Amino acid sequence: MKNELIYKLNIEDIQNVALQEIGRELTSGEIKSIESKISENIKWYDVIADAINDNIKTGDS
């Protein structure tokens, strides 16, 4: 269970955003060029912490 994925983005997700933002799908080269930027900009710690704090009761509440 340690390595089980919770959430992932796929090419279809990226293409849907591209269609909404620039009116066309991205080429495979364009997708490659933004891959690292996507992973660098996902604030995974904050997302996890917010979900825990919003949904899990602590002992002192």
Can you tell me which residue has the tokens 């919770």?
6
Residue 32 belongs to domain spanning? 11-55
Is residue 50, in this structure, part of any structural domain at all? yes
Is residue 6 domain-resident? no
Residue 30 lies in a domain: yes
Q: Is residue 27 part of a domain?
A: yes
Domain presence at residue 5: no
- Is there a domain that residue 60 lies in? no
0.85 exceeded by the pTM?
A: no
Q: How many CB atoms lie within 10 A of CB 25?
A: 14
What are the pLDDT digits (tens) for 8-39?
999 999 999 999 999 999 999 999 999 999 99
Backbone angles phi, psi at 59, to 5 degrees: -65, -25
Mean pLDDT over 53-58 rounds to 93
Q: How far apart are CA 24 and CA 14, in angstroms?
A: 11
The number of domains in the chain is 1
Which parts of 1-61 fold into alpha helices (H)? 11-22, 28-41, 44-55
Instruction: Say which residue, 19 or 1, is predicted with more confidence.
Output: 19
- Domain assignment of residue 47, yes or no: yes
Amino acid (one-letter) located at 36: S
